[in-house]
Chain A
Amino acid sequence: MGDLAIFGFGEGGWGLSLLEGAAMTLLVSACGLLIGAAIGGLVAWARLSGKRLAGAVGEGYAALFRGLPELLIVYFVYFGTSTALTETALLFGHEGFIGVPAFAAGALAVGVISGAYQAEVFRAAFLAIAKGELEAAVSVGMNRALMARRIILPQVLRFALPGLGNLWQVALKDSSLISVTGLAELMRVSQVGAGSTHRPFAFYLGGAALYLVMTVITTRVFDIAEARATRGMRRAAV
């Protein structure tokens, strides 16, 4: 088949598979980012709480997952959760290996890594909120829950957007490591295509091009979101 025909959508064409792989990449990255947001929020809250033990645990989590290779974490989460699940099932009398679905393990791994960095983004965003605004909220009679929902959270999200945009790009790239679990995201599809057609250069280049397109488009989306979210805010000179 001709060079470009293998990327086509017809019979024997890999175009559809690659696009499906890209969609899977977007999905698993997005799930990873959300898990990371939950973890990051928790860790940031622990570090801001002022309680020493919570702060230490939070800092420890961040330090740990920023010092370990992402590939190692992917393996650890994938094998580790499968092993844990299998052994737990064993306790209940179920024999045989149970594998955790690659998607879940992959998203969890990306999330665990992202969370360590998102924690810092959230923490910095929270600290950037002018104390005066919080004092104004209190003096108007808001209780803590209301203040958190109406004043703190929207502001944190606004300040965190640039950092989060960055971390989204990182998540997209980290998701390529999930290919070692066999999940049919873009990297894995490229790999399978390359092996099956014996055209590694074309497939990996094509896969890279798709990653680049995803990066550029999603960066633009984040830029627009940032511009709209920071309407009316005074920004420090860059």
Chain B
Amino acid sequence: MTAETAALTVMDMHKSFGQLKVLRGISVTANDGDVISILGSSGSGKSTFLRCINLLETPDSGTVTVAGETIKMRRRRDGRAEPADRRQVDRIRSELGMVFQSFNLWSHLTVLENLIEGPVHVQKRPRAECVEEARALLAKVGMSERESYYPAHLSGGQQQRAAIARALAMRPKVMLFDEPTSALDPELVGEVLRVMRALAEEGRTMLIVTHEMGFARDVSTRVMFLHQGLVEAEGPPQELFSGATSERFRQFISKERA
């Protein structure tokens, strides 16, 4: 597949926080159905990379192309980069679904209201249709009985599953997961991974920053290992996990297992 038809293409992304260079030239191409796990130790830039894709952080240079549309950037007077078209950013964000480490469900809304908020107010779809679709999604993630609960009354695993449904409700082209299970108690991790696995098997395009090695090995179609802002190793999981490619990666997984 060429870059024009890929679901998501990132080219040569750079990002610094002050003097600290966090991303030093990262590229990735995700085709439809790709499930890409992004691994690396803290400080390797993996979360920053994900957050630059939907411009929650602004990259210093590099391009992001979603379903053939490239986000237009420009330089400010002080040299810093910024998006050139606010509305394009909003539109592209609505085509990317993001799932956060700390769930970030809107606390004043019920689960159902959380799910229809984006579709109704950003995508301007008819409310009845959004509600129906939301209910179907809640059934898919196993949260049907809790549609009128408030986030504060849910466990972490339940909140994250609701958050995944909320991202799905926007009918995204690509889903971005930022360490979705890192904030969960160990016994709740499984229920979220199960949902994510089902999405992968459905053929969704997913980019997942994670520490869950088992998931990365068993469910991804590709694994990216970041080290100090660069792609240290990339390839099918069997290749990387067998230790055939990167020495650093081998050290990394042995430390994670410990």
A and B touch in the complex (CB under 8 A): no
